[in-house]
Amino acid sequence: MLAVLGVVLPAQQQPPPQQVSQSKPNLTGKWVFNPQKSSLKTSAPTSMTMEIEQSDPEIRFARVQVYGDQTFKWNLKADADSQKEVVQHTPQYTANVRVFWEGSSLVLDQQIIAPDGTQADDVVTYSLVDGGKLLQGVERQTVVGGKGTLTNTWLYDRQPQ
Q: Flag whether pLDDT at 40 surpasses 90.
A: yes
Residue 37 has pLDDT above 50, yes or no: yes
Give the integer Cα–Cα distance in Å for 103 and 44. Answer: 29
% of the chain exceeding 70 in pLDDT: 86
**69 exposure class (CB count in 10 Å sphere: 0-12, 13-18, 19+):** exposed
DSSP 111-137: EEE-TT--EEEEEEEEEEEGGGTEEEE
The full set of domain ranges for the chain reads: 25-158
CA distance 103 to 18: 9
Q: Are strands 70-79 and 86-89 parallel, antiparallel or unpaired?
A: unpaired
Which pLDDT score, from 0 to 100, does residue 34 have?
Answer: 98
Q: Say which range, 39-43, 61-65, 141-145, has the weakest mean pLDDT.
A: 141-145
pLDDT score for 12: 38
Please give the model's pTM, rounded to 2 decimal places. Answer: 0.84
The amino acid at 40: L
**CATH fold for domain 25-158:** Lipocalin (2.40.128)
Across residues 58-79, what is the average pLDDT?
97
Higher pLDDT, 16 or 53: 53
With a cut of 50, say whether residue 25 has pLDDT above it. Answer: yes
Percent of the chain with pLDDT over 90: 78
User: Residue 56: which residues within 8 A CB-CB, separation 6 or more?
Assistant: 24, 80
The mean pLDDT value for 55-61 works out to 95
Taking the C-alpha atoms of residue 112 and residue 96, their distance in angstroms, rounded to an integer, is 7
- Residue 60 CB coordination number (10 Å): 14
